[in-house]
């Protein structure tokens, strides 16, 4: 049934001239759990000592949910993702750097991650309330607020990295997080993601308040 719906969608898009290129269906996340993805950390503003080091991504599955686990030099980030419905949703984000919990957020409703299927020009709105803890100059504090923005597929292009040349969708996400507790604060986060048809992240750039914060590029893929 899902394949039939996707075929109908592609036909409709072709009829209106939207899908002259590729349409990426939702990948098989179970396949992603079979591999280890090794990245070059080519830039890090907050932790410059990470530049030139490796970051390692594992996908794990627990109780029908997927864990995105990206280990970095003296830190890591973990996203809990629900892909049981048509698109994928982030339930929580946890990030540690040098034994400090930088953020530990849960989202209600779950925050849309990637809204499959993908094609060039597709845009979706992202909104969620969040609560948890964050690191500030005063230390780790309890926070809550709302985050909202959009994601757009900018292009499908060839990306050359150490692991090879990959055709990928270039997805830009722009989010404004408004903290309502314990004090008002706004943070703009932009992420540019190059994502292949099988769900492999080839490259990721993260910006905070329009300033480049981190870049990772795929170095190699290993079977686990």
pLDDT of residue 47: 94
DSSP label of 50: G
HSE, CB side, 13 Å, CA atoms: give it for residue 43: 11
**Residue 57, SS3 per DSSP:** strand
Task: Using the CB atoms, write b or e for 53-78: b if 16+ within 10 Å.
Answer: eebebbbeeeeeebebebebbebbbb
| Residue 136 lies in domain | 25-223
CB 110 within 8 A of CB 117: no
Residue 85 in any domain: the answer is: yes
The answer to whether residue 11 sits within a structural domain is: no
Is 219 domain-assigned? yes
What is the arithmetic mean of pLDDT over 84-92? 88
Residue 19, pLDDT score: 43
| Residue 73: alpha-carbon gap to chain centroid | 19
3-class secondary-structure state, position 12: helix
Query: Is 209 within a domain?
Result: yes
CATH for 177: 2.40.360
Reported as a single tens digit per residue, the pLDDT across 26-81 is: 999 999 999 999 999 999 999 999 999 999 999 999 988 999 999 999 999 999 99
pLDDT at 153 over 60: yes
Structurally, how many domains does the chain consist of? 1
Let me know if residue 10 belongs to a domain.
Answer: no
């Amino acid at each position: 049934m899902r394949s039939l719906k996707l075929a109908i969608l592609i036909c409709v898009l072709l009829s209106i001239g939207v899908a002259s290129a590729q349409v990426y269906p939702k990948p098989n996340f179970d396949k992603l759990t079979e591999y280890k993805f090794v990245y070059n950390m080519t830039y890090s503003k907050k932790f410059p000592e990470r530049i030139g080091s490796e970051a390692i991504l594992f996908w794990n599955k627990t109780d029908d949910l997927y864990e995105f686990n990206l280990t970095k030099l003296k830190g890591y980030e973990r996203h809990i993702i629900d892909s049981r419905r048509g698109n994928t949703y982030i339930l929580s984000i946890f990030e540690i750097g040098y034994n400090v919990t930088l953020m530990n957020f849960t989202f209600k409703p779950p925050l849309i991650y990637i809204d499959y299927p993908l094609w060039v020009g597709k845009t979706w709105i992202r909104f969620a309330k969040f609560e948890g803890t964050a690191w500030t100059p005063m230390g780790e504090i309890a926070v809550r607020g709302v985050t909202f923005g959009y994601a757009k597929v900018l292009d499908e292009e060839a990306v050359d990295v150490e692991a090879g040349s990959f055709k990928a969708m270039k997805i830009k996400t722009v989010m404004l997080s408004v903290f309502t507790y314990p004090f008002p604060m706004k943070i703009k986060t932009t992420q540019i993601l190059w994502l292949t048809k099988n769900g492999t992240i080839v490259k990721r750039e993260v910006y905070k308040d329009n300033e480049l914060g981190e870049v990772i590029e795929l170095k190699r893929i290993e079977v686990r």
